[in-house]
Structure 1
Amino acid sequence: MSTAASPHPSNIPRRMVLMGVAGCGKSSVGAALATRCSAVYRDGDDLHPAENITKMSKGIPLADADRWPWLTRVAIALRADIGPTIIGCSALKRAYRQHIERIAGSPVTFIHLAGTAEVIEKRIKERQGHFMPPALLASQFAALQPPGPDENAISVDIDQPLDAVVEAIVAQLGGLRK
């Protein structure tokens, strides 16, 4: 972990979503970023309805109808306004991100953890105890709509050490809506 000073609290958005396909590092980056920024981290997987986890565990991709209740739960958790909050949530489509921001009721900063299919597939195969099978990775990339320049979002390449990913995020946070 970096020994650099923490960013000034005014530079840290109140509501952040670490987004990207399964295996991009949302949980690891989220925990490290929360420590670095004195924020609270919540894993969006913990907000999934049980039916969603059952489907994914069986290798069945989620449909939009499955995702909306989950995305609403993510947005409600952000709306709680307990201080700077980071939630790991795939938020693969623009419509999902718009839904989260609309329900949250104020700006949400989306942090896209971007990586190649090869890098992410390797990570998925190496992790233990997660419900998401590698077979669903292709469906995640097929659904992914990376944030556009008009969105309140940054993108960081995950093919680097964890500390470098966190520092790249912190370096980009200052100019965004809070």
Structure 2
Amino acid sequence: MQPTPRPSSTVIVLMGVSGSGKSTIAAELVDRLGWTFAEGDAMHPPENIERMAAGIPLTDADRAPWLRRITDWIRARLEAGQDAIVTCSALKAEYRDELRSAGPGVRIVYLRGNPATLVARQSARRGHFMPASLMRSQLETLEEPRPDEGVLTVDVAAGPAEIATTIIRSLGLDPS
């Protein structure tokens, strides 16, 4: 894949189901690129967190205000000319369309993994509100990005450093 010319600013959206490594890869990218970072989970309304913590899957209506908040955050970064990274499951094409509506500098990276790996990772996590019991719901909701969406897909089987390198190279980013 050829690197893509950069717009004036770029916001990378790291997407994927819970356990795909969004926060881990974001930390690696922030360390290398020095960009601003936002954890998408922190933008959930308290009601969403309560629902997920109770093992209740979110609906499209539950996700709507959260996606708007993330889109607004992305738009503000782009308007300020600030490069940034945000995590967001972005499970459906319509959610990704919402995020891309923030501006032309939005680049979505899908962290794809096999279900067994994802369940094992999520089950091993401590201190996160998302229980492993919701993995099935997330996988059922997930609409893998279509080729015409322009989403970079990266397999999570590699380590964080290798995944970050793949993202930086594929998106034509300068780590200096």
TM-score surpassing 0.5? yes
Instruction: List gaps (5 residues or longer) in structure 2.
Output: none
CA contact (8 A) 2:8 2:105 kept: no
CA shift in 2, pair 1:12/1:168, >3 Å: farther
SS of 2:137's partner is helix
Q: What is the count of residue pairs matched by the alignment?
A: 167
The AA in structure 2 aligned to 1:123 is: R
Report the more deviating stretch, 166-175 or 128-137: 166-175
The secondary structure found in structure 2 opposite 1:21 is coil
Query: Which residue in 2 is equivalent to 1:78?
Result: 74
- Secondary structure at the aligned position of 2:37 is classed as strand
Give matches, 1:61-76, under 5 Å.
Answer: 61-76=57-72
Give the match for residue 125 of structure 2: 127
- CA gap 1:63/1:76 in 2 versus in 1, 3 angstroms: same
Query: Residues 11 and 173 of structure 1 are in contact (CA less than 8 Å); yes or no, is this contact kept in structure 2?
Result: no
For the residues of structure 2 that align with 1:97 and 1:131, how far apart are their CA atoms?
Answer: 23
What secondary structure is seen at the aligned counterpart in 1 of 2:89? coil
- Corresponding residue SS for 1:109: strand
Shift of 1:10: 4.4
RMSD: 2.0
Percent of aligned positions that are identical: 41
Structure 1's unaligned 5+ residue stretches are 1-6
* Per-residue CA distance 1:8-65 (angstroms, 9 max, x = gap): x948961111000011011111111122122111100010000000000000000000
1:95 is aligned to 2:91? no
What residue identity is the alignment partner of 1:91? Answer: A
**Larger mean Cα displacement after TM superposition, 79-88 or 90-99:** 79-88
> For residue 112 of structure 2, what is the aligned residue in structure 1?
114
In the other structure, the counterpart of 2:155 is 157
Q: Which amino acid aligns with 2:146?
A: G
